Amino acid sequence: MKEMKSNKNKIVYAAISISLVMVACTKPVEQLPILGQRTVSGTDTIYHTIAPFQFVDQDSALVNNATFKDKIYVADFFFTSCRTICPIMKTQMLRVYEATREMPDVLLLSHSIDPEFDTVALLHDFAARLDVTSDRWHFVTGVKDSIYKIAQTSYYATALEDKTEPDGFIHSGAFLLIDKQGRIRGKYDGTKEEDVNRLIADIKRLRQEKQINQ
């Protein structure tokens, strides 16, 4: 009798654990990860966010953190005279631009890592020739060191001058997805179509996310 009872208990426990697993597996939409270092102070977790910045876009407008207040945005680093990965990145970013056409809370931010050559006028022409406008896609130039610093310390993207490289720069082809709180929520290879498909899907997911963990 005692043995039977313990068997019954085992079955109950098994049933509970199975249902717990099932509940966990059917959790509706999983949140995107929050990338970067985090610090815990008391009961609060402080996430890595994009540091303050200020650059100038293709229409000579100031672009800073306030430009992206309550906006999701995708950031990358490129330069107009680059013949290696940038043309592919721009083709892929153009796909993101098209895919987010009906999303007023989604913006794009392309930083030039050759800001002395890529003047406002040159970026203006470049954007115009892609048929894109600065209300949704900012091409920015500014102080070179500030752009390199924000690339490396805020976006965790590589951007360096290197005279030994064919084009004179080392840089990653990464696209970074930034949420409305300035946190990095995804990193994608901007030279790969499938990775950019994942980015487009993640933008939709991020827009669905309730603004928790503020």
Within residues 46-75, the interface with other proteins by CB under 8 A covers none
Cβ proximity to other proteins, 44 vs 131, nearer residue = 131
Residue 195: partners with Cβ closer than 8 Å, 6 or more residues away: 175, 188, 189
Q: Rule CB under 8 A: say whether 120 interacts with other proteins.
A: no
Residue 7: both structure tokens together = 């068997």
Instruction: By CB under 8 A, tell whether 99 contacts other proteins.
Output: no
Give least dist CB 150 to other proteins, A. Answer: 25
Q: Residue from 80, 110, 112, 134 that binds other proteins (CB under 8 A)?
A: 80
Between residues 196 and 206, which has the closer beta carbon with respect to other proteins?
196
Do 188 and 33 meet the contact criterion of CB atoms below 8 Å apart? no
Q: How many residues bind other proteins (CB under 8 A)?
A: 15
94 binds other proteins (CB under 8 A): yes
Pick between residue 13 and residue 117 the one whose CB is nearest to other proteins.
Answer: 117
Rounded to whole angstroms, the maximal C-alpha distance in the chain is 88
88 part of the interface to other proteins, by CB under 8 A:
yes
* Interface residue list for other proteins (CB under 8 A): 80-81, 83-85, 87-88, 90-91, 94, 126, 128-131
